[in-house]
Amino acid sequence: MTSLPGGASAERSHVEESRRAKRDAIEALGILPFAYRFERSHTALEALALYDDRMGEDGPLVAVAGRIAALRSQGKTGFAHLEDSSGRIQVYFRRDALGALWELVQLLDLDDHVGVSGRLFRTRTGEVTVRAEAVTLLAKSLRPLPRGKTQVAEDGVQTFGGLADPEVRYRQRYADLAVHPEVREVFRLRARAIAWLRAFLDARGYLEVETPILQPLYGGAAARPFVTHHNALDMPLYLRIADELYLKRLLVGGLERVYEIGHDFRNEGMDRTHNPEFTMLELYEAYSDYEGMMQLCEEMVGGVVEACCGSRRIERDGTTLDFTAPWPRVRFVEGIRERAGVDVRTADEADLRRLLVRRGVSADEAATFAGGKLQDEMFKAFLEPELVQPTFLVDYPVALSPLAKRHRDDATLTERFELFVGGKELVNAFSELNDPDEQRRRFEDQAQQRAAGNEEAQLYDADYIRALEYGMPPAGGLGMGIDRLLMVITGLPSIRDVILFPAMRPES
């Protein structure tokens, strides 16, 4: 990093120096390098659609605005491509048509924001173009964007070279977005998906709510929290790791269908599928159960995939993911038993560890697994990699699910499912435990695990128990990782590709 923002001139590149010199020259012409406003008549795409070849050299008058994405000076004329959020349009500058403004055109750089008005025509080479009659500088770019050369082809814009370093792309997302229209498209798609989910739930009578992000007790998931401090109350507060316990309090209060879309914060490792803050959709529906949630899931996830990808069958990594309902269900205990030959609820723990070691887990590690953790490791080793097609993994052991209702037919299990797509967990849902005394016992069990060193065991939440004592209707609830959903929808390999500003170590 030789040139830092606002650094001394000695630290700036010659490119930046030259742009600042042009900025000064523009000011000397009495022109503002950073304008206040521009009334554009059409976006690039709208303007292009306006032209008809019968109009010849004198098409309609348009005023377009955008960033200069290509600039070709040619003596007393020049061509530029303006890029706005709709696309690109070419602009043709002529000295004899611009008069005094020609001086300004000479001082334009790639990446400047400009507004151009003029008539549309088609060039010899066939491109619909604005013949500039007036040019307004809207914002001088003092730092060149890391863009490559581009070629406008019939099937889109082809780039040669350009910003490729993933570090710069994530740290300077503004630059990444500015030079990569396809990245802008990812985040449009993200917004479309979230809007679709809201519309879907609103149409089903769900109420969108907001619950605390700063919580005196964190719960609803197993994870280490971020801790902060409230000065006025002089007490620690935790950034939520889940919305669950607050949303279920609302069921007690008579809000029968609620959902929340917001960030959860988990103080854990970061990798391709984990960012410390991520977007979660949680929803709860009174008088439903996990069966109801599976149906809802098929409609909702299948629907959003279809809305974003145009089909419920999408091609990912050479396989077709088929979101057409119904989706297969695999029972947690039976699924493992079919592959490992043991019942994880009743098998001797030493035998389970031996199976894990035979499966490739290191002996030292396996020795540390016990209880619910051991069962989960068995799942990861024997079952998870097979869950590529949308699949419900159902009926988890009780030890793994302290907030889920016991299975109606088998007291060792809970009515819980997770949806897996591409081998990754996308949704977690259950029939919500609404017996306050059993919930109390589950919390006490978690407290014991905590005392035994499990940092992620859930905290005893007395206020939540009090709420349940008032009576919570039976309900189904569901949580879905929005970022991971977007990874499925876009086919992008890293959660950082679908989060605008992913967490990064600080620079310098």
Site size for RNA (CB under 7 A) = 79
CA gap 10, 16 in Å, rounded: 11
Which residue's entry shows tokens 């031996």? 354
Residues 83-100: b if buried by 16+ CB within 10 A, e if exposed: bbebbbbbbbbeeeebee
Tell me which of 146, 262, 371, 491 binds RNA, using CB under 7 A. 146
What is the nearest approach in angstroms of RNA to the Cβ of residue 202?
Answer: 27
What is the nearest approach in angstroms of RNA to the Cβ of residue 468?
Answer: 17
What is the nearest approach in angstroms of RNA to the Cβ of residue 129?
Answer: 5
Cα 342–345–348 angle (5° rounding)?
65
**Cβ pair 327, 390 in contact under 8 A:** yes
Q: Which of residues 82-111 bind RNA (CB under 7 A)?
A: 90, 92, 94-96, 109-110
Q: Is 177 in the site for RNA (CB under 7 A)?
A: no
Tell me which of 84, 112, 277, 376 binds RNA, using CB under 7 A. 376
Q: Is 181 in the site for RNA (CB under 7 A)?
A: no
Count CB atoms within 10 A of the CB of residue 332. Answer: 25
Q: Which of residues 339-368 bind RNA (CB under 7 A)?
A: 361, 365
What is the nearest approach in angstroms of RNA to the Cβ of residue 36?
Answer: 25
Q: Which of residues 265-284 bind RNA (CB under 7 A)?
A: 266, 268-269, 271-274
Q: Which of residues 449-488 bind RNA (CB under 7 A)?
A: 456
Tell me which of 123, 228, 311, 319 binds RNA, using CB under 7 A. 123
CA gap 82, 92 in Å, rounded: 11
Any bridge partners for residue 73, and if so which? 78
Tell me which of 99, 166, 326, 341 binds RNA, using CB under 7 A. 166
What is the nearest approach in angstroms of RNA to the Cβ of residue 230?
Answer: 25
Q: Is 2 in the site for RNA (CB under 7 A)?
A: yes
Exposed/middle/buried for 435, CB within 10 Å: 0-12, 13-18, 19+?
middle
What is the nearest approach in angstroms of RNA to the Cβ of residue 60?
Answer: 16
Between 249 and 268, how does the x/- string for binding to RNA read (CB under 7 A)?
-----------------x-x
- Of the two residues 314 and 457, which places its CB atom closer to RNA in the complex? 457
- Structure tokens that stand for 188 in this block: 């449009």
Tell me which of 428, 431, 434, 449 binds RNA, using CB under 7 A. 428
Could you list the beta-strand ranges (E) of 172-226.
Answer: 207-208, 214-215
- Of the two residues 305 and 407, which places its CB atom closer to RNA in the complex? 407
Q: Which of residues 394-423 bind RNA (CB under 7 A)?
A: 400-403
Q: Is 431 in the site for RNA (CB under 7 A)?
A: no
Residue 146 preceded by cis peptide, ω within 30: no
Q: Is 130 in the site for RNA (CB under 7 A)?
A: no
In whole angstroms, how far apart are CA 222 and each of 219, 241, 403, 449? 7, 8, 11, 12
CA gap 74, 64 in Å, rounded: 22
Q: Is 13 in the site for RNA (CB under 7 A)?
A: yes
**Cβ pair 486, 273 in contact under 8 A:** no
Local structure of residue 217 (DSSP, 8 states): S
What is the nearest approach in angstroms of RNA to the Cβ of residue 81?
Answer: 7
Q: Which of residues 209-238 bind RNA (CB under 7 A)?
A: 221-223
What is the nearest approach in angstroms of RNA to the Cβ of residue 231?
Answer: 29
- Structure tokens that stand for 353 in this block: 């560890």
What is the nearest approach in angstroms of RNA to the Cβ of residue 52?
Answer: 17
Considering only 161-169, 188-196, 197-205, 322-330, which stretch makes contact with RNA by CB under 7 A? 161-169
In whole angstroms, how far apart are CA 323 and each of 313, 314, 419? 6, 8, 12
Q: Is 504 in the site for RNA (CB under 7 A)?
A: yes
What is the nearest approach in angstroms of RNA to the Cβ of residue 86?
Answer: 17
Between 37 and 56, how does the x/- string for binding to RNA read (CB under 7 A)?
--------------------
Between strands 257-265 and 207-208, the pairing is: parallel
Which residue's entry shows tokens 């949680």? 282
Q: Is 144 in the site for RNA (CB under 7 A)?
A: yes
Count CB atoms within 10 A of the CB of residue 433. Answer: 23
- Of the two residues 288 and 428, which places its CB atom closer to RNA in the complex? 428
Count CB atoms within 10 A of the CB of residue 441. Answer: 12
The 3-state DSSP class for residue 422 equals coil
Q: Which of residues 293-332 bind RNA (CB under 7 A)?
A: none
CA nearest to 424, candidates 206, 275, 274: 274
CA gap 215, 138 in Å, rounded: 45
Tell me which of 37, 54, 229, 505 binds RNA, using CB under 7 A. 505
Between 57 and 76, how does the x/- string for binding to RNA read (CB under 7 A)?
x------------xxxxxxx
